[in-house]
Amino acid sequence: MFKKGFLASSMAMILVLGILSGCTGNDSAKTNGKSKDQVEISVWLTPQWKGVMDGSEKGADYDSFLKHAGEKFAAQYKEHDVKVNVEVIAGDQRDELLNVNLNGGTPPDVFFESVFAMGDYVHRGALVPLNDIVDEKAKKDIAKNYWDSVTFGDDIYFYPFSHMPGTLAYNADMFKAAGLDEYIGDKNEIKTWKLADYEKILKALKKDLPKDKYPNAYPMALYALNNQGDTWNLAYFRMFGNPFFNDKGNIALNDANGIKAAEWMKKIYDSGLTNPGAESVSSNDANAMFQNQQLAISFTNSVLASNAKADMESGKAPKFDMRLANIPSESGKPLTFTYVTGAAVFNTEDKTRMKVSKDFVKFMSTDPELVKASKNGVPVRTSVAEEFKGDNPIFAAYDENAKYMFNFTGNVPGYSQLRQILYPELQALYTGEKTAEQIVKDYQEKGNQIIEESKANSVIYKK
């Protein structure tokens, strides 16, 4: 009898103790702002670079820079005793985590991320303007096009820190093997080809690339499996002069130039000038194929390019002469874009924490030592770019290229949803399910519907 009772009681005790330990186990619950002098802020980031200044540091990790910035900020901050908690989250976890935490009323205080991925949160009213922490000195040191990409309506919502320009990458060894020496640019140049030349290059790569040296190789990367790397696909739509967005912030792809661009993409695909099966190839696959010398021309950005070079140096990937080029256009004016990265402050409705968060963002974005870490991407500050030009000659080329940049998001509301409807249309184009005219028409219709609905809920458009 005693045994039965004991067993039953034990089981109940285990459950009750478990629940109670859960109730008291709030080991990292925020005490944010509860004490007058102690303020804890949470800073989230997606992986950007390892280390404070670079990956060669001992114990270098993705959170090293912001942890260092947090400690430095806390040491000099007079108004409160501040603790900065830094969390790294994967890019594909960002929206799930943010949405649940926004609904739960516990968003992070600061988010350090690419602006294009966070624009929808501005329109939702989740972020606060940072106009009051941006001074004239910063405006002079950071070029206007970077400020434009972080400005929604009249307000600045992100403090630009670094950027990651997107270009094409090409295998100069494959070019040489195909007799295309005249089209190869300098090592630290971002080469510009006219569209007619680009077509010649693709055809020569298909015809003249030695099959024994480069078996199973294709001239150019083309992919449409998902929304990753879609910015390059968006750039191809602009090749014949289509502006993509009109002045009202709507999609204006459905014109003769937009259709021409879609037809061009289909034409090069059907002619075997790209990898086959584009509808089921992801940008990651394309990137890996390029690193494996199965593609002569692919997409890249500054981080991907330096990672690819590092992999070649360390022997993780086959070594070849990789160089950069702009996306060509019919007019001869090259196409390029950039992902500006910066910190944003969430509206947590806690005035103290929001004030401390803004002070932290200003500190990490202006401190003379900390801003040098932007060299891990490409610095947005002219002063930092100048300082590191010697070590990174490609900075000068990116700087020169800045004038060709277009704002690929148009800062329109619902941009993340626009990304979801693009690749199904591209898949339909490559599989022959739809014509070029049809995908351009359908994408514009669906896209503008999303934009209109998002505008109705956007705090920027409601102003």
Partner 1 sequence: MVGNKNRNKKKKEKMDIISNGVVIFFALLSLFPLYWLMTSSLKNSSDVVKMPPDWIPKTISFENYVDVFNNQPALRWAFNSTYVSLVSTIALIMVSCLAAYAFSKLRFKGRNILFIIFISSLMVPKEVMIVPLFRIIQDFGMVNTLNGMIWPNVATAFGVFMLKGFFDAIPDSLRESAKMDGASEFTVFFKIMLPMVKPGIGALFILNFVQVWNDYLWQLVVGQDENSKTLMVGIATLMQDLNPNFAYKMAGATVAAVPMLLIFILFQRYFTKGISIGAVKE
List interacting residues with partner 1 (CB under 8 A).
4, 7-8, 11, 14-15, 18-19, 21-29, 46-47, 61, 85, 87-93, 96-97, 100-101, 103-106, 215-216, 228-229, 283-285, 287-289, 291-292, 294, 301, 303-304, 307, 311, 316-318
In the complex with partner 1, the residue whose CB is nearer, 228 or 366, is: 228
Closest approach of Cβ 181 to partner 1, in Å?
Answer: 26
What's the length of the chain?
463
Q: How far is the CB of 308 from partner 1 (least distance, A)?
A: 9
Residues in CB range of 114: below 8 A, 6 or more apart: 46, 164, 339, 340, 341
Rank residues 91 and 432 by Cβ distance to partner 1 and give the closer one.
91
Given the complex with partner 1, which of 287 and 329 has the nearer CB atom?
Answer: 287
Residue listed under structure tokens 């303020």: 39
- 342 near 161, Cβ under 8 Å? yes
| C-alpha 57 chain-centroid distance | 25
Closest to partner 1 by CB, 98 or 429:
98
In whole angstroms, give the CA distance from residue 253 to residue 245. 7
Tally helices (H) and strands (E) across the chain: 18, 12
**239 C-beta neighbours (distance < 10 Å), count:** 21
346 burial via Cβ count (<10 Å: 0-12, 13-18, 19+): buried
Nearer Cβ to partner 1, position 25 or 179?
A: 25
Structural contact between residues 191 and 316, judged by C-beta atoms closer than 8 angstroms:
no
Beta carbon nearer to partner 1, 75 or 90: 90
| Least CB distance to partner 1 at residue 104 (A) | 5
Nearer to partner 1, 255 or 311 (CB): 311
Compare residues 65 and 240 and give the one whose CB is closer to partner 1: 65
Closest distance between partner 1 and the C-beta of residue 403, in Å?
Answer: 24
What is the smallest separation between the CB atom of 164 and partner 1, expressed in angstroms?
A: 9
- Least Å distance, CB 275 to partner 1, is 10
Q: Residue 340: phi, psi to the nearest 5?
A: -85, 135
Cα 444 to Cα 388: distance, rounded to the nearest angstrom: 43
- As a whole number of angstroms, the distance between CA 125 and CA 347 comes to 8
CB atoms within 10 A of CB 384: 22
> Does residue 323 contact residue 332 with C-beta atoms inside 8 Å?
no
Total Cβ atoms within 10 A of residue 351: 9
In angstroms, the CA 370 to CA 286 distance is: 35
Nearer to partner 1, 67 or 372 (CB): 67
CB of 419 to partner 1, least distance (A): 12
- In the complex, the smallest distance separating the C-beta of residue 213 from partner 1, rounded to whole angstroms, is 14
Spell out the residues 6+ positions from residue 235 whose beta carbon is closer than 8 angstroms to its own.
Answer: 166, 327, 335, 336, 337, 406, 408
Do the beta carbons of residue 240 and residue 264 sit within 8 Å? yes
Q: Least CB distance from residue 30 to partner 1, whole Å?
A: 9
The least CB distance from residue 100 to partner 1, in Å, is 4
Distance CA 440, CA 252 (A): 9
**What phi, psi does 414 have (nearest 5°)?**
80, 20
C-alpha–C-alpha distance, residues 381 and 399, integer Å: 10
In the complex with partner 1, the residue whose CB is nearer, 4 or 36, is 4
